[in-house]
Structure 1
Amino acid sequence: MLAFDLLKTDPDSHARRGTLTLNHGPVQTPIFMPVGTYGTVKGVMPRSLEEMGAQIILGNTFHLWMRPGLDVMQSFGGLHGFEQWKKPILTDSGGFQVWSLGAMRKISEEGVRFASPVNGDKLLLTPEVSMQIQAILNSDIVMQFDECTPYDTNGHITTEDEARKSMELSLRWAKRCQAEFTRLENPNALFGIVQGGMFENLRQESLDQLVEMDFPGYAVGGVSVGEPKDEMLRIMAHTPHRLPAAKPRYLMGVGTPEDLVEGVAQGVDMFDCVMPTRNARNGTIFTRWGDLKIRNARHKTDHQPLDTSCTCHACAGTSGVSWEQGGREGFSRAYLHHLDRCGEMLGPMLTTIHNLHYYLNLMQEVRDALDAGQFTAFRAKFKAERARGV
């Protein structure tokens, strides 16, 4: 089941406000979706995700197929029961892992043959197998199996002819995914994925043919795969707003806070990215005033929280009152710097909570601005604050 209600559009951009209703509940858009590759958002309890406002999270089809395997997943009735997450889940198709396996895989019309990175078994992942795995996972949003067109392969920039062949293969696989999804009588929703590399004409061809197939929702794939930022922004400006207005639009694997706000302005409803969690584990913190490197020595004696305006558990403790509002219960930069230097587990757990809270709160502020008809003013204020620096 999928229903998408478009509630409001911004007159000065392509930004829009909506409600996406899925089998495991509603999702307010625009939304950021935390990534839970192995059935967990690293270092964060499901309860904490709910408290910080997560409405939908991701799972990874390829990795869950490898471990724990489909028999285990089926015994729990799918991914929701296995990881104890009651709200919606989106699963990718395995296409990105196909891209990342490099020399370990061989792509053909049938699918992708590769050696398991877990135990070396010879495996074949096809559009049909991807649909079967995702049916067992019982994810609310199923992604078509596609080839993620590379930007640069060992110094070779993908040509238009190469991007076309890849895009056309993904279109043929989309038809096979749709047929298998229907055969399985999957009650969830299948999204098509627009490919075409960095070529607008190919993006348009992919988009047009996918729209003819009438998917319940659409994604823009093949960005944030090593291309220069201006190339990504060019495709972001071209493709999302050309997708059907009555259906949800998902920009895969993007990105920084600036990318999210710009993506909303270009008509995107849904985002995911490992950046807030991965960067947190590596000591990079996202704040209203720019990025903070907690490993820098200047934080050794700093009593301030990561972000004085933040109400997350790391910054405001259990009080939920920010420093700017007079709260003093959060953890200091000095403490988090100390935990990082000592390799203590609590350090990346707290910085992950903060980064995810920042992303989810940013999307809440975007939704509030759209509801109030103030998105243009919010966008300008956001850029100025982020440029100020911590």
Structure 2
Amino acid sequence: MSDPFFRLLHIDRQSGARRGRLVTVHGPVETPAFMPVGTQGTVKGVMPELLRSTGTQMILANTYHLMLRPGEQVVAELGGLHRFACWPGPILTDSGGFQIFSLAKLTRVDDSAAVFRSHVDGSVVVLSPERAVAVQESLGADVIMTLDHVIALPAPREAVRDAMQRSIRWAERCRLAQSRRDQSLFAIVQGGLEEDLRVRCARELAAMDFPGYAVGGLSVGESAKEMYHILEITTPHLPEEKPRYLMGVGRPTDLLEAVRRGIDLFDCVMPTRNGRNAMAFTHRGPVRIRNRRYERDARPLENSCPCPACQFPRAYLRHLFMAKEMLGPILLTLHNITYYQRLMREVRNAIEADCFAEYHQERIAHWGSAATDGTGGS
């Protein structure tokens, strides 16, 4: 049965990669799609209109961080997150489950809730499934996430099973707590690297009939090969007509490998964090702009790139970083987001033309040759 929130437009005949469209109140999202991370309601250093110019359709913000500051009620009183952040497009909010992993030393978890010691002021913060949904409803995102229990990998099977079972129970509580029907609630599949637990979690969540599904708890210590394998055994147990979101991933290579395994939606800090740290992504591999080899390099990062950074020579971009000028991180952030959006656009076109397998092979080969011959970004 088709879902008015997600339309599966085409499946590549050779690879099985999917081309779809999310339909939200704040506009459509063509998939596969990549969401830049705006944890605090902002993609660091990038004005909303410039973010739009990169080809970004949808952004991610974080429930836990916005709950702490400025507080969800402040955001709600000022018209919701879209108006507060002056971002007109769709927004997805993570539930705070990742902070159970990233702030593990400050967190205690039981079946009722996750209890944090705030990293801001040390106060006690209780985040239950019901609270996670209430905060996200106040923020007003288009897509909201169930609260899940994320743990570091590798981990003992008993710990993985406990976190997976808790995530299922919390997903049901989130579903029952939801009151707004203009938001789509995604459930999150957990289960670590345990094949049977991943399959069980996917099947139980699928039976609850959520509008969308995420694969979570990856990119937290496992190898890329292990991550790809988990995707291969998980996605066949998710409803074909519902969107599939891989959380917190990743490198350009990871995006292509995940699309090949049936994923529609991604987020990751990689393009923005690397941009702030002087690394640019290109079709010929990464450019580490602080390298001395670029001191007198008059070429742009990429000739075909329309981003603001590519209006300047590499030598100037290097100079900005060496001089610690804030424009350098801003420009490389814009370039990397533009690159990721261009990559996703090419992926969508390849799927529509039933040639994603060839596109995947060509891109991987280019990145691999750049790494081995030292010509990254040339």
Question: Do they superpose with TM above 0.5?
Answer: yes
Q: CA deviation at 1:71?
A: 2.5
- TM-score of the pair, normalised by structure 1: 0.92
Out of 348, 351, 360, the residue aligned to residue 367 of structure 1 is: 348
- For 2:92, the aligned partner's letter is L
Corresponding residue of 1:380: 361
Corresponding residue of 1:87: 89
- For residues 159-212 of structure 1, give each alpha carbon's deviation from its aligned partner in whole angstroms, at most 9, with x where no partner exists: 11211111001101011000101xx23421000000000111100000000011
Corresponding residue of 1:324: none
- For residues 71-114 of structure 1, give each alpha carbon's deviation from its aligned partner in whole angstroms, at most 9, with x where no partner exists: 31111121101000111000000000121112211101110112
Corresponding residue of 2:204: 209
- For 1:375, the aligned partner's letter is F
Equivalents in 1 of 2:6, 2:124: separation in Å? 40
- For 2:330, the aligned partner's letter is M
Equivalents in 2 of 1:240, 1:302: separation in Å? 45
- For residues 103-159 of structure 1, give each alpha carbon's deviation from its aligned partner in whole angstroms, at most 9, with x where no partner exists: 2111011101121111111121100000000000100000000001321xxxxx311
SS at match of 2:331: helix
Q: CA deviation at 1:23?
A: 1.5
Equivalents in 2 of 1:266, 1:59: separation in Å? 26
- For 1:370, the aligned partner's letter is I
Q: CA deviation at 1:242?
A: 3.0
Out of 168, 174, 179, the residue aligned to residue 177 of structure 1 is: 174
Contact 2:203 2:237 in 1 (8 A): no
Out of 38, 45, 50, the residue aligned to residue 47 of structure 2 is: 45
Query: Any residues of structure 2 matched to 1:19-34 within 5 Å, and which?
Result: 19-34=21-36
Contact 2:73 2:138 in 1 (8 A): no
Out of 292, 295, 299, the residue aligned to residue 294 of structure 2 is: 299
Corresponding residue of 1:141: 143
- For residues 298-333 of structure 1, give each alpha carbon's deviation from its aligned partner in whole angstroms, at most 9, with x where no partner exists: 111111111233222211xxxxxxxxxxxxxx1111
Provide the aligned C-alpha RMSD in A: 1.2
Contact 1:306 1:333 in 2 (8 A): yes
Corresponding residue of 2:250: 255
Equivalents in 1 of 2:327, 2:164: separation in Å? 44
Equivalents in 2 of 1:363, 1:350: separation in Å? 20
Equivalents in 1 of 2:144, 2:181: separation in Å? 10
Corresponding residue of 2:259: 264
- For 1:14, the aligned partner's letter is G
Equivalents in 2 of 1:375, 1:234: separation in Å? 20
Equivalents in 2 of 1:190, 1:71: separation in Å? 20
Equivalents in 2 of 1:194, 1:127: separation in Å? 15
Contact 1:6 1:17 in 2 (8 A): yes
Equivalents in 1 of 2:155, 2:16: separation in Å? 30
- TM-score of the pair, normalised by structure 2: 0.95
Corresponding residue pairs, total:
369
Out of 187, 195, 208, the residue aligned to residue 182 of structure 2 is: 187
Equivalents in 2 of 1:101, 1:31: separation in Å? 28
SS at match of 1:39: coil
- For 2:87, the aligned partner's letter is W
Unaligned runs of 5+ in 2: 371-375
Contact 2:14 2:354 in 1 (8 A): no
Corresponding residue of 1:319: none
Identity %: 49
- For 2:219, the aligned partner's letter is S
Equivalents in 1 of 2:185, 2:4: separation in Å? 9
